[in-house]
Amino acid sequence: MKPIRYASQLMEENIAKAPIYEASVGEGLTGEQVNSRRKAFLTNRIKKQVTKSYFRIFFDNLFSFFNIILFAIATLMFVAGIDSLSSYLFVVILAANIVIGLVSDIRARVLVDRLRLLTDPKAKVIRDGKKEEIAIEDVVLSDIVYLDTGDQVPCDCLLLDGNLSADESLLTGEAEPVNKRRGDTLLGASFVKSGHGYCRAVKVGAASYSETLRTSAQTFGRPRSEIKRSTLSIFLVTGIASILVGLATFLTYYVPIWCGRAAEYSFREFVLQLSGKMVAMIPSGLYLLTSLTLAVGVIAMARKRMNVQELYCIEMLARVDTVCFDKTGTLTDGTLSLHGIDLLGDVSEQEARRLAYSIVKATGDRNSTAEALLDAGEGTEAYGSTLNVPFDSSRKYSAATLKGKGTYAVGAFGFVKSRDSAELSSRIESLSQKGYRVLVLYRVKKGIEDGAIEGMSEPLAVFSFVDTIKPDAAANIKWFVDSGVDIKVISGDDALTVGRIAELVGVPNAGRAISMNGVPLERIPDLADRYTVFGRVSPEQKAALVEALQKKGHKVAMTGDGVNDILALKKADCSIAMASGSAAARNISHLVALDNDFSHLPEVVGEGRRVINNLQRTASLFLSKTIFAGVLSVVFLISDWCGGVSYPFTTQNMLLWEVLSIGVPAFFLSLQPTRERLHGSFLKNILFKAIPAGTMESLVVLVIYLSFLISPGFMSEETAVTMSVFAFSALSFVTLFRVSLPPSRYRLAVFGSMLSLAVLVVFLDVALAKGIIPLDIGGLLGIDYAATYFGPGPLSLCIAAFAVGAALFVAIESYLVRRSRRREAEK
């Protein structure tokens, strides 16, 4: 037997056989060479599925576990000759669920796929002497790729020209950047942390690490959704329970037949029992409601220009109680302008501008500070350079050895070794307190060695820059404060500068600012709650701050757009990046702001709360019916085995409950606006209503049936069925009312409409059964009104049982909710 060869091995073999194209960095491959690589399938294309295929969408919606059971029940009912249309109402609901599921899934796929095109990583390649931007998957073997700060390395490459620092943490787990020089290998799916250069693609497609980022991003930092876990548990338990009940019902009917005895009831009655039990036990509506609600949330966020990359991050948005903002992009728009230059050494202002301009030109840095220095030096001629050190967020400076001038550096105060005077410190502190961003120009005495400046440096000038505060920053901050969300501002800039800007936009406790320069990671848990503004934060410290807040019980959202935000974004419960930010930040974030604006964050968090609060609110409606059917199925099975009463209810009897107190109101309640904070466990919150409701509904029916068994003269079985249907239907509306609390016009309107329709359906059912409406379609609720005695005894018992059951349900549910909130407050 031949050994199995994986795609990576096949690609390696193809690469080894391929002709060698050693194109220059200036010319790159020719069009003919690119086409030959494509014909040989030596491209960076890798089979991946970012969204469901259309086949999968149709298959999942048509052949889900519950759908198969319900289709089988409907077929069995048809074979048994059950011809009442209202008995098949669950099939209509099932068909509607399938259609709605298909429409929402297809629409979500179209929107998400369309929006993903805007955020998919790109690669810059040199072909026929021109720089082109192409999709990463279109890179071919031997392509000349240009890499800049923040770019994703599209495949395994060999660095031909330039110096850069690579973040390989997604591949190796090492957070420290790796310096790359000419001749070094760059791994696919790593990111350029600083610097720039030209490289050649040496391994593409399955032979490279290009998919490692996708795999790592899905398994690192993705929240384990409580809703997903809880609903899957509910579906598993109820699915197994319904099958066991169905199997027990099947054996109860057929075992006597197999033993040669006559069945105690007809095949038709057996099917009515079986369908009544299993249809009531299966919470198929909950499955639909969960997927539909989340899909609607995705579409709503897409309209707000937010690309949802992780479906269940909507839940985490609803649970967020702490938001970690970077200053840039949230409080300020990321643009800087030079405010002034304070001279310290023997240089003129014009020379200081030229030196700073020359450093940026040499390093090729393209951050906001570098852009401001370029603008400030516009019109001057840059000095040539021989060596340079690009800016890096961990060292906070960039440097260059300029021809005929020596080595100079520009960076944050305190990050370059120098003999700083008290006057310099005081001047920088004064500028920072006024909200200016400050950089110092230094003359480096020893020069550059091993990618860093060595020895002491002499400060020559202080550059002060002003951030542009976003016009909507204050309003956004106020929304979060009013909504009970704590705010942390985490920035690589000076703490005083950031604190001043935070104070101007209304961040509470903005005066609690601390510089994290030199603070060890083990001290961060003690500082996380004590301070609001954190300056001079390294990438590792950002991640440690997020983790410390999480360990203190907070659900943390993190915003960022740069390579230095990657570690913190991966740690956060919900991460949000800007489309214009680095490819690294975009690809590991749960949400991407497509319009490069975090001003939609209040709306996005509010949308998350709306979706999950409404899902949590309405899920108990479906589960209460499942509990009710499960309890009664077991009780009446035991009764049947003992020669007593069999399960008495059919699918028709559930019409009021299934449609008017669950299905229709659940849909409308899921659309209601709400900005309430999410409290407690999802499963506990729905069980606190579902278990008392389902239990009380079961007990009310059992009390009514017990009266029938004790005194058949007091109440016939037909009367017991009728009173039970009215009692559990009325109790289902009590559950709906509790779900609609606290009251609002919208919720009360939904409840009132459904209750009015229920009363109308009862009158219509009586009119059809009595022949008042001459339509030969039978009753809607499956009630035998002719055999039912509506005397004062049965009616009084029905009303009393309903009243006691409703009172007990409200009391137990209120107690459970109060106890849960008390325990949550104690934590």
Catalytic residues: 326
Dihedral, 266, 269, 270, 272 alpha carbons, nearest 10: 160
Helix axes 717-739, 682-710, angle to 10 degrees: 160
The vertex-721 CA angle with 715 and 726, nearest 5°, equals 105
Q: Measure the N-to-C terminal CA separation of the chain; round to a whole number of Å.
A: 61
Find all residues with CB under 8 Å of 403, minimum gap 6, and list them: 383, 384, 385, 386
Pairwise CA distance, residues 263 & 13, whole Å? 70
- Contact between 283 and 622 under an 8 Å Cβ cutoff? The reply is yes
Which token pair is 428? 């920088």
Pairwise CA distance, residues 153 & 133, whole Å? 13
Count CA within 13 A, CB hemisphere, residue 96.
Answer: 13
Find all residues with CB under 8 Å of 240, minimum gap 6, and list them: none
Backbone φ and ψ of 745, nearest 5°: -60, -40
Residue type, 707: S
Which token pair is 86? 């209202």
Which token pair is 351? 């020379």
Pairwise CA distance, residues 37 & 44, whole Å? 10
- Contact between 609 and 616 under an 8 Å Cβ cutoff? The reply is no
- Contact between 761 and 768 under an 8 Å Cβ cutoff? The reply is no
Which token pair is 341? 């230059």
Cα–chain center distance at 76: 41
Pairwise CA distance, residues 730 & 458, whole Å? 84
Pairwise CA distance, residues 318 & 607, whole Å? 8
* Sheet strands (E) in 296-435: 306-308, 322-325, 332-343, 385-389, 397-402, 406-411
Q: Which helix (H) or strand (E) holds 179?
A: strand 178-180
The vertex-155 CA angle with 149 and 160, nearest 5°, equals 65
Output the CA–CA distances (angstroms, integers) from residue 81 to 67, 73, 74, 78, 260, in the order listed.
Answer: 21, 13, 11, 5, 25
Which token pair is 283? 């919470």
Q: Buried b vs exposed e over 313-337: b needs ≥16 C-beta within 10 Å? A: bbbbbbbbbbbbbbbbbbbbbbebe
User: Omega into 742 within 30° of 0, i.e. cis?
Assistant: yes
Question: H/E/C letters for each residue in 18-80?
Answer: CCCCCCCCCCCECHHHHHHHHHCCCECCCCCCCCCCHHHHHHHHHCCHHHHHHHHHHHHHHHC
Pairwise CA distance, residues 582 & 151, whole Å? 6
Hey, is 202 helix, strand or coil?
strand
Cα–chain center distance at 536: 29
Pairwise CA distance, residues 733 & 661, whole Å? 6
Nearest of 502, 464, 489, 485 to residue 545 by alpha carbon: 489
Q: What is the DSSP letter of 388?
A: E
